Amino acid sequence: MCKGIPDPPHHPCCDRYTFGTCNHHHAPLFTVRPGVFAEDALVHALLLVQQTYQATTLAREDAHGDGRRLLGGSQLSLEMIEALLNKVLDGLVLLPTNPPAPERPERLNRPVRREDFG
């Protein structure tokens, strides 16, 4: 008897992902390890988005003209990404892990001010 549906191609779900090649001028400097829990990755992504928002806000203070408008658009995109990540984290059915998952960062206070970074 023939099987009606072929087996899916074998792709490990937690394959290694590398980055930091400087446009492929050298081997990757960084990697996301296989086996990272989704919740841990999402919390880390949320922190990265918040830090990028802060840096973009500070850069926008010094920018003029089109640069200022482009950075404003980037700020809005980062806020949307933060909201999406929070909704995904809210929707996860979480099981207890050992070690426990990291604490989710609180929503970023806006506006960010240069004085906040002493």
Q: Supply the pTM of this predicted model.
A: 0.67
35: alpha, beta or left, given left = phi > 0 and alpha = psi -120 to 50?
left
Q: Phi/psi of residue 28, each to 5°?
A: -60, 140
Given a cut of 60, is residue 1 above it in pLDDT? no
pLDDT band with cut points at 50, 70 and 90 for residue 7: low
Residue 12: its pLDDT value, please? 47
Residue-range domain boundaries for the chain = 35-92
Q: pLDDT, tens digit, for every residue of 45-102? A: 999 999 999 999 999 999 999 999 999 999 999 999 999 998 888 887 666 666 666 6
Residues 14-37 have pLDDT tens digits of: 567 778 888 888 888 888 888 888
